[in-house]
Amino acid sequence: MNIIEPLVKIALILLINLTTVAYLVYTERRVSAFIQNRVGPNRVGPMGLLQPVADIVKLFFKEDIVPTAANKFVHSLAPLISLIVALSTFAVIPFGNTIHLFGRDIKLMIADVNVGLLYLLALSSLGVYGITLSGWSSNNKYSLLGGLRSSAQMISYELSMGLSIIGVLMIAGSLQLDKIVVHQGNYLGGFLPAWNIFLQPLGFITFVVAYFAETNRLPFDLPEAEPELVGGYHTEYSGMKFGLFFLAEYANMITASAVITTLYLGGWQFPFIENFGFSPLAVSLLQVAAFGVKVALVLLFFIIVRWTIPRFRYDQLMNLGWKVMLPLAVLNIIITGFFILV
Amino acid sequence: MPTVKITIDGTQIEADNKRTIIEVAREHGIKIPHFCWHPKLSVSGNCRMCLVEIEKMPKLAIACSTQVADGMVVHTKNERVVHARNAVMEFLLINHPLDCPICDEAGECKLQDYTYKYSTGYSRFDEDKVHKPKRIQLGPHVMFDAERCILCSRCVRFCDEIAGVHQLQFIQRGDHTELTTFPGEKLDNPYSMNVVDICPVGALTNADFRFKARVWEMSFTDTICQGCARGCNIEVGVRNNETLRLTPRRNDDVNGYWMCDHGRLDTFKFVNAENRIKAPMIRKDGVLVEVGWDEAIARVASELKSFKKSEVAALGSPFATNEDNHIFQRFVKEVLGTKNVDFVRHIVEGDEDNILLRSDKTPNSIGAAEVGVAPVEGGMSFDAIIEGIHEGKIKALYALEDDVAAVPGVAEVLPKLEFFAVHAANENSTTRYADVVLAAATFAEKNGTMVNFQRRVQRLRPAVTTLELDRAMDGFEMSRWDKFAAHNDKWGKGPRRDARASWKIVASIAAAMGTKFKYNSADEVFNEIAQRVESFKGLSYLKVGKKGAPLKAKAMAPVHA
Amino acid sequence: MNSERSTIIRKKDLSLWERMYIPEIVKGMKLTIRQMFAPTFTTQYPDERFQPPASFRGRPVLVEENGVERCVACGLCSRVCPALAIEVQAGETELGKERYPEKFEINMIRCIFCGFCEEVCPEEAIIMSQEYELAFTKPQDALFGKDKLVVPIEKVQTRLNFLRANR
């Protein structure tokens, strides 16, 4: 097997991913500014487009402070875990159909694992280690509380997340993400794309909510709830280590959007593209573009939700997780099973 | 003494029938506002502020000149009285200028306070006010502003009745009436500045204190005047750690409400003076050089040790407290072992009167003698010590804070001393001859007691901080700025000197010479005095309090430790 | 605890529709998205400068009239200042006002721009100007003496007019 091909793909994905992270931060700041009738960063470069560069340079030059009583090894390790996990989830995401290029067929995903979905679930729950470890190793009460909240939250929502996906599994009959996407290329009644969002609206809602909780985005950012916990798990982080957490959060967001797109929004499927008679290469590229557009829209949704919905209280979070989400996810399985049987 | 029963504001009161309503009410805590009435002055009844309603009398009567009578029912707060007071205040304010921002009296002004309490709060007067001269120098120490005067005549009566000189009088009629001095006269009697205190408005103001500070910016500490053996009770006004003003404090056993101009003006300025000794000094190559306390104390201790006991003499001080003198005489007798100990008396024969001034110009000569600053049998008195220095018999002299060299004949002999150590607060003629000058805290910087000519023990309280003291920690009176100033604020932080109370310095020297006097504070020293000195028996700082306590009658044979 | 002065309004329980969250979230997001297209309030500071209205309380200044500050050093501003920012030392002058500030110092680090000094001033001598650009690199620079505080009356006429009109 050719080793060059996956390496090129990995490099490409990392590059695109990290650039997107940088500009996602910028976008978030601009969008939140517009929502609040402000302008947002507009001084560095045209329209402030060089702001992410300035931010990263600043983070690199900031003093790296490690608390004296901290466990220094784990303290340094934690942000790396967070970021690596966030990025490696992307390995199983198919971002396009097989493309015919340079005389060969190239699958537009890094690793075509036949248990892609399990891999995805496994990695996304690993991310919590970064947070919990950082909270523990900082030797700070706020950090520790942040870390504990994060693990509690992960356990509560991982369940409903896993259960929601079962609906998708039942329909696609495969754990392979590629197959799940292909399965969504059909049409319902000839006009509606057979995306899982239409087949599984309830599953979609529970999955999205659970994934919000997994990524620690508002309204579920209790691990770093500023009013109560100062900075939560990253209270004691500064400089580029803090920067890594920051990167991880946004990389997680991108991964989350990609997963949601893949599982529910038809992945790289471009509805009705086969009717226009484009060349196969153009079709492939357009499909990649479609994937990008879908991911971008989900990201925008993430951002707008953050600036719309206030943070949950801890008891509300737990109530929602156990008393609402879990029953709904189970209900979704039952309904799906019922329809499949019928 | 025939007593009568009267009712004031519903309270039944029994009183002597020779007294007036205002006096009786005051004794029972009922406040009747007044401008012209003063407890120590004759009744003039011209301000009309003390109008009260007396049942069965057709018109309101003034409380200051109406004697109480049996069955009298007085109302001081009812509607009629309030209405009358409003009217009186309105009349008083017609020609009173609105220059409180400029006026030094603001903040302690009777008219200002009563305007808040008893006036309607607005003026109906549209016409021009009568203008009179301002900024008149009535006497050397008193400024006069004729516009502010409300013609209560307190100052006129003070001069006539208390100071006993006729210097002030009113001229003209009606709203053109003006206070002035008699032709060719000036308000220059030795008690002239008391008119500033009794003036209910800012018409008469202290020329020395003029515009120095607003009263609310200062802290006020109850202490004792250092001007003479009377020991008038006073308040020291301090701002930014700088003494700015002395005012008399009422003590009917000592000074009544008054104090003399000398005491008021000349007994506090040395505390802030430029020539303060800011730290202990040692003479090196003929020049006094500031050194640390340890070095100065070690020097004194080693020098004093190097002389024979009979070659050493010691001088206490009538300007120092009982505590200072007590530790000093113990040190001299127990550690130095010399018999030659005495102090200098500063008596100006004939410079006294039957009001306040005393011929003894020191505040504590009786106290110094009482605690035992006197030659031990066979020892030398002051004159003998000077003679001894002259003859070379005395080679070392150790003196508390007193300008010994200013005594005639002393300055000439001092250079003959081989070693001379002196406690001093300011540079003076004595420090010129000293080998070691120990920076002494002034009366305004230490706790202590003094005994006045009536044999009355009275308390000194610190008002100014030295380097070793802290305003908040050491129980000083605090102004608002003292309370809230942060460490990096400039205000509230006047100069502080590295001075110490004399008893502390003496105790340190004793320790350096091998004898430990264990006292933490001045009141512990005083308790020891109370144990060891017969006439102080049973006294403590608590018993001395704010107004002092008499010493026991002269004991048959005072016991000295 | 139901006192006479307060009435307790019991919030009605949410309806089932409201309790489903989703419709309410959509409502909220509609609002935020609408706001994205509303005009912004931001002033591009160093380029555009805020011109404060007359009611604005900038740094306190001493009014100078006919070449002399109006202040008579009464010390009321110093007394009323809740932050104890003002220090005044009076002196005597030959002018009709008798009294003038020998020293007038405001510690601009302490100043909280409450305007009490202006309100209490009997001479309309200390007023809040429209200056708001106050940044210091050293604490000593923030001690404003008479040299910085005294300002000719023409420069603060708008504020004086405002104070007159709203007395």
Provide the mean pLDDT of chain A: 84
What average pLDDT does range C105-129 have in this prediction? 92
Q: How far apart are CA A2 and CA A4, in angstroms?
A: 6
Q: In chain C, which residues have their Cβ closer than 8 Å to the Cβ of B494?
A: none
Token digits for B538?
A: 């049973």
Token digits for A54?
A: 């300035």
* A92 contacts A180 by C-beta, under 8 angstroms: no
B partners (3+ CB pairs within 8 A) are C
Q: How confident is the model at residue A203 (pLDDT cuts 50, 70, 90)?
A: confident
Nearest CB to C72 within list B102, B481, B491 = B102
**Residue B424 pairs with which residues in a beta bridge?**
B439
Least trusted range by pLDDT, from B91-95, B550-554, C55-59, C145-149: B550-554
Name the residue range of residue B393's domain: 281-550
Q: How far is C29 from chain A (nearest CA, A)?
A: 6
Residue A166's CB: how many other CB atoms inside 10 A? 17
Q: Does A316 touch chain C (CB under 8 A)?
A: no
Q: Torsion-angle region of residue B105: left (phi > 0), alpha (psi -120 to 50) or beta? A: alpha
Q: Does C140 touch chain B (CB under 8 A)?
A: no
Q: Does C165 touch chain A (CB under 8 A)?
A: no
Q: How far is C87 from chain B (nearest CA, A)?
A: 7
Q: Does A300 touch chain C (CB under 8 A)?
A: no
Classify C60-166 by CATH class. alpha beta
What average pLDDT does range B207-234 have in this prediction? 93
Answer yes or no: is pLDDT of A238 > 90: no
Q: How far apart are CA C120 and CA C79, in angstroms?
A: 10
Answer yes or no: is pLDDT of B560 > 50: no
Least trusted range by pLDDT, from A208-217, A233-242, B481-490: B481-490
Please give the pLDDT value at position B105. 92
Q: In chain B, which residues have their Cβ closer than 8 Å to the Cβ of C105?
A: 490
Q: How far is A31 from chain C (nearest CA, A)?
A: 7
Q: In chain B, which residues have their Cβ closer than 8 Å to the Cβ of C107?
A: 489-490
Asked if A touches C (at least 3 Cβ pairs < 8 angstroms), the answer reads: yes
* B322 contacts B448 by C-beta, under 8 angstroms: yes
Q: How far apart are CA B283 and CA B295, in angstroms?
A: 12
Please give the pLDDT value at position C1. 47
- Beta-strand pair B312-315/C143-144: unpaired
Nearest CB to C41 within list A31, A37, A304 = A37
Q: In chain C, which residues have their Cβ closer than 8 Å to the Cβ of B148?
A: none
Residue-wise pLDDT for B443-482, tens only, equals 999 999 999 999 999 999 999 999 988 888 888 999 888 8
B20 is a domain residue = yes
Q: Does B483 touch chain C (CB under 8 A)?
A: no
Same domain? For B328 and B429 the reply is: yes
Residue of A nearest to C24 (CA): A309
Residues 343-402 of B with CB under 8 A from C: none
Contacts of B37 (CB under 8 A, 6+ apart): B22, B43, B44, B45, B47, B50, B64
Token digits for C67?
A: 């070449």
CATH assignment of the domain containing B544 = 3.40.50.740
Same domain? For B306 and B366 the reply is: yes
Residue-wise pLDDT for B143-185, tens only, equals 999 999 999 999 999 999 999 999 999 999 988 999 999 999 9
B558 is a domain residue = no
Nearest CB to C38 within list A31, A37, A309 = A37
Same domain? For B340 and B359 the reply is: yes
Q: In chain C, which residues have their Cβ closer than 8 Å to the Cβ of B210?
A: 92
Residue-wise pLDDT for A246-285, tens only, equals 888 888 888 888 888 888 888 888 877 777 777 877 888 8
Q: Does C78 touch chain B (CB under 8 A)?
A: yes
Same domain? For B217 and B323 the reply is: no
The residue assigned the tokens 């006045």 is B452
Token digits for A124?
A: 């996304």
Total domains in the fold of chain B: 3
Q: How far apart are CA A340 and CA A337, in angstroms?
A: 5
Please give the pLDDT value at position B513. 92
Answer yes or no: is pLDDT of B315 > 90: yes
What average pLDDT does range A188-215 have in this prediction? 82
Contacts of B217 (CB under 8 A, 6+ apart): B239, B479, B480, B481, C75, C78, C79
Residues B53, B55, B57, B58, CA torsion sign: positive
Which element (helix H / strand E) includes B179?
strand B178-181
B148 is a domain residue = yes
Same domain? For B250 and B288 the reply is: no
**Residue B239 pairs with which residues in a beta bridge?**
B242
- DSSP output for A224-292: G-HHHHTTGGGTT--HHHHHHHHHHHHHHHHHHHHHHHHHHS-TT--TTGGGS---HHHHHHHHHHHHH
Q: How far apart are CA B503 and CA A261, in angstroms?
A: 89
Q: How far is A24 from chain C (nearest CA, A)?
A: 17
- Domain extents for chain C? 60-166
Least trusted range by pLDDT, from B206-210, B257-261, C7-11, C143-147: C7-11
Q: Does A77 touch chain C (CB under 8 A)?
A: no
Please give the pLDDT value at position B561. 41
Q: How far apart are CA B13 and CA B560, in angstroms?
A: 51
Distance linking the first and last C-alpha atoms of chain B: 50
Please give the pLDDT value at position A266. 81
Q: Which long-range contacts (CB under 8 A, 24 or more apart) does B81-84 make?
A: B81/B51, B81/B52, B81/B53, B82/B118, B84/B51, B84/B60
- Name the residue among B203, B195, B215 with its Cα closest to residue B257: B195
Q: Does C139 touch chain B (CB under 8 A)?
A: yes
Q: Which amino acid is at A2?
A: N
Same domain? For B389 and B466 the reply is: yes
Same domain? For B497 and B450 the reply is: yes
Answer yes or no: is pLDDT of B352 > 50: yes
CATH assignment of the domain containing B23 = 3.10.20.740
Residue of A nearest to C39 (CA): A37
Residues B344, B348, B354, B355, CA torsion sign: negative
Same domain? For B139 and B60 the reply is: no
* A236 contacts A281 by C-beta, under 8 angstroms: no
Q: How many residues does chain A have?
A: 342
Answer yes or no: is pLDDT of B58 > 50: yes
Q: Does B537 touch chain C (CB under 8 A)?
A: no
- How many Cβ pairs within 8 Å bridge chains A and C? 37
Residues A274, A276, A281, A287, CA torsion sign: negative
Three-state SS for B43? Answer: coil
Residue-wise pLDDT for A282-337, tens only, equals 888 888 888 889 899 999 998 888 888 888 888 888 888 888 888 888 888 888 88
Omega cis (within 30) before A219: yes
Which element (helix H / strand E) includes C60?
strand C60-65
What average pLDDT does range B381-388 have in this prediction? 92
Q: Does C125 touch chain B (CB under 8 A)?
A: no
Q: What is the 3-state composition of chain B as percent helix, strand, coil, each rounded to the nearest 5?
A: 30, 20, 50
- Judged by CB atoms closer than 8 Å, whether chains meet at C41 and A38 is answered as yes
ipTM reported for the complex, 2 dp: 0.83
Kindly state the percentage of chain B with pLDDT values over 70.
98
Same domain? For B309 and B182 the reply is: no
Whole-prediction pTM value?
A: 0.75
Q: Does B547 touch chain C (CB under 8 A)?
A: no
B114 is a domain residue = no
- Beta-strand pair B281-284/B287-290: antiparallel
Q: How far apart are CA B497 and CA B83, in angstroms?
A: 55
- Judged by CB atoms closer than 8 Å, whether chains meet at C74 and B102 is answered as yes
Q: What is each CA distance from B225 to A99, B246, B449, B459, in whole angstroms?
A: 106, 8, 12, 10
- Name the residue among C102, C105, C106 with its Cα closest to residue C90: C102
B95 is a domain residue = no
Q: How confident is the model at residue B543 (pLDDT cuts 50, 70, 90)?
A: very high
* C60 contacts C144 by C-beta, under 8 angstroms: no
Token digits for B164?
A: 């006993």
Please give the pLDDT value at position A230. 77
- Judged by CB atoms closer than 8 Å, whether chains meet at C39 and A36 is answered as no
Q: How confident is the model at residue B300 (pLDDT cuts 50, 70, 90)?
A: very high
Q: How confident is the model at residue A215 (pLDDT cuts 50, 70, 90)?
A: confident
Q: Is B548 exposed, middle or buried (0-12, 13-18, 19+ CB in 10 A)?
A: buried
Q: How far is C4 from chain B (nearest CA, A)?
A: 34
Q: How far apart are CA A318 and CA A302, in angstroms?
A: 21
Q: How far apart are CA A207 and CA A173, in angstroms?
A: 18
Nearest CB to C90 within list B134, B211, B480 = B211
* B457 contacts B544 by C-beta, under 8 angstroms: yes
Q: How confident is the model at residue A12 (pLDDT cuts 50, 70, 90)?
A: confident
Q: Give the 3-state DSSP-derived string for B342-408, with helices as H, strands as E and coil as C.
A: ECCCCECCCCCCCCCCCCECCCCHHHHHHHCCCCCCCCCCHHHHHHHHHHCCCCEEEECCCCHHHCC
Q: How confident is the model at residue A17 (pLDDT cuts 50, 70, 90)?
A: confident
What average pLDDT does range C147-154 have in this prediction? 93
Same domain? For B448 and B544 the reply is: yes
Least trusted range by pLDDT, from A69-78, B94-103, C152-161: A69-78
Kindly state the percentage of chain B with pLDDT values over 90.
83
Q: How confident is the model at residue C3 (pLDDT cuts 50, 70, 90)?
A: low
Q: How far apart are CA A152 and CA A321, in angstroms?
A: 11
Q: Does A35 touch chain C (CB under 8 A)?
A: yes
A partners (3+ CB pairs within 8 A) are C
What average pLDDT does range B326-332 have in this prediction? 94
Same domain? For B174 and B285 the reply is: no
Nearest CB to C40 within list A31, A39, A305 = A39
Select the highest-mean-pLDDT range: A120-124, A220-224, B391-395.
B391-395
B85 is a domain residue = no
Same domain? For B134 and B19 the reply is: no
Q: How far is A301 from chain C (nearest CA, A)?
A: 9
- Beta-strand pair B448-451/B456-460: antiparallel
